[in-house]
């Protein structure tokens, strides 16, 4: 992944605001600007960029990993084992050493939404002025470049494979987690064949029944599927750091008339939003199209979340398609479209698809059946 054009944009922004350096703490922002992502962040990792170089502060157990993957000019390490403690055990001490290169009183950019208060206070105590740059990085990530779109499209194809395989395993007596596992196994095997030495991350959930499907976000569990169940099977697949999402509401056997009405309303609300979204419209307008559809069908009171969200490095990222966001959408943005309704005593209904905004409209990258007849399993 080429990060140079991103760093150029970041440096131009810093230069316009007299920032001598920027410190980035958000893991997904770090990946966007450096190509490095750790498994966990309980030990702090700090990315610093100035006009001349990029630096990464990592714990010792990430040193080899960072040297292999991070596209940075310098890596500074801190330690937690006694044999190397003399080289430094505190990431803030290492940060102080880097900041000593800048004049006191200078401006340092930080992503305030992600950095800890401890680190902000530490920087200020060193007599630097702290300036929030977080929104700039968020906005840089709005529009995806060609490399990003290639990965997102392939993640969409892999999502389709996993969803299709899991749904084909849907039968009475299988548990939610077993249904997830069938698709996950197929996903692992196919990714290994098509993308050697690649990184794969995923999320799957399959809440089932009238009580569990009214929870929009809930982990799959060991509940066994029963005849008459609604199941919402959701997948996110991340290939080399970039994600796509596909979700379908399905039926195991015959649904009630009320459930069929809910299914149809959610399906049409999604389709109308997908037909509408394109460059030049606002995020709020997309949400409004979907909510108006649900209002006419009598279900809007059960639609308790936004119509969709940006997706890329993060599972959920801005821009959000919600009623109070007047942002004008642009070509190259990537969104999920997923209006849902969640009706106590009846069940939840939501399809989700990922699409890319193109010059004159959008490109759907998770094409999959939506009709109840195609999504009913016996």
> Is residue 196 exposed (0-12), middle (13-18) or buried (19+ Cβ within 10 Å)?
exposed
Encode pLDDT of 255-286 as tens digits. Answer: 999 999 999 999 999 999 999 999 999 999 99
Assigned CATH for 4-140: 3.40.350.10
pLDDT score recorded for residue 1? 84
In this prediction, residue 362 carries a pLDDT of 99
Residue burial 306-333, b: 16+ Cβ < 10 Å; e: rest: bbbbbbbbbeebebbbeeebeeebeebb
22: β partners: 49, 109
Q: What are the residue ranges spanned by the domains of the chain?
A: 4-140, 146-377
For position 378, what pLDDT does the model report? Answer: 87
> For the whole prediction, is pTM greater than 0.85?
yes
pLDDT given at position 231: 99
Does domain 146-377 fall under CATH 3.90.230.10? My reply is yes
* CA neighbours closer than 13 Å in the CB half-sphere of residue 229: 25
Q: Are 262 and 346 in contact (CB under 8 A)?
A: yes
| pLDDT under 50: residue ranges of the chain | none
What distance in Å separates the CA atoms of residue 280 and residue 327, rounded to the nearest whole number? Answer: 9
219 CB neighbour count, 10 Å cutoff? 13
Residue among 201, 199, 215 at smallest CA distance from 347: 215
- In the Cβ-directed half-sphere of 78, how many Cα atoms lie within 13 Å? 18
* Residue 167: predicted pLDDT: 98
Token pair listed for 125: 């105590």
Q: Give the model's pLDDT for residue 63.
A: 97
Sequence-separated (6 or more) residues with CB below 8 Å from residue 98: 21, 48, 55, 57, 76
pLDDT at 102: 98
Angle at 51 between CA 50 and CA 54, to 5 degrees: 45
Q: Please, which residues have CB within 8 angstroms of residue 182's CB and are 6 or more apart in sequence?
A: 165, 166, 168, 169
């Amino acid at each position: 992944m080429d990060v140079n054009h991103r760093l150029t944009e970041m440096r131009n922004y810093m230069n316009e605001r007299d920032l001598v350096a920027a410190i980035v703490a958000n893991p997904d922002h770090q990946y966007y600007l450096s190509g490095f992502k750790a498994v966990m962040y309980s030990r702090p990792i700090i990315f610093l960029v100035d006009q001349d170089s990029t630096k990464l502060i990592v714990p010792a157990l990430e040193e080899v990993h960072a040297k292999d993957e991070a596209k940075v000019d310098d890596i500074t390490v801190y330690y937690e084992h006694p044999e190397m403690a003399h080289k430094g055990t505190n990431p803030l001490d290492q940060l102080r050493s880097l900041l000593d290169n800048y004049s006191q009183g200078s401006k340092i950019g930080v992503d305030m939404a992600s950095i800890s208060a401890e680190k902000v206070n530490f920087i200020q105590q060193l007599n630097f002025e702290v300036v929030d740059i977080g929104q700039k990085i968020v906005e840089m990530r709005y529009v995806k470049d060609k490399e990003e779109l290639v990965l997102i499209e392939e993640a969409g194809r892999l999502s389709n494979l996993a969803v299709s395989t899991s749904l084909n395993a849907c039968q009475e007596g299988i548990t939610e987690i077993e249904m997830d596992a069938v698709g996950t196994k197929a996903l692992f095997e196919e990714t290994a064949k098509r993308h050697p030495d690649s990184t794969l991350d995923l999320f799957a959930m399959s809440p089932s029944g009238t009580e569990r499907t009214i929870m929009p976000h809930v982990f799959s569990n060991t509940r066994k599927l029963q005849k008459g169940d609604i199941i919402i099977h959701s997948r996110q697949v991340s290939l080399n750091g970039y994600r796509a999402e596909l979700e379908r509401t399905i039926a195991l056997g015959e649904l009630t008339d009320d459930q069929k009405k809910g299914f149809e309303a959610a399906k049409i609300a999604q389709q109308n939003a997908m037909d509408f979204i394109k460059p030049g419209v606002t995020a709020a307008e997309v949400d409004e199209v979907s909510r108006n559809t649900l209002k006419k069908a009598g279900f809007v009171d059960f639609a308790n979340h936004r119509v969709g969200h940006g997706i890329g490095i993060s599972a959920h990222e801005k821009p959000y398609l919600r009623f109070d966001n007047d942002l004008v959408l642009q070509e190259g943005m990537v969104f999920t479209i997923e209006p849902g309704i969640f009706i106590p005593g009846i069940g939840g209904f939501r399809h989700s698809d990922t699409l890319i905004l193109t010059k004159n409209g959008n490109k759907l990258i998770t094409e999959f059946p939506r009709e109840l007849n195609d999504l009913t399993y016996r």
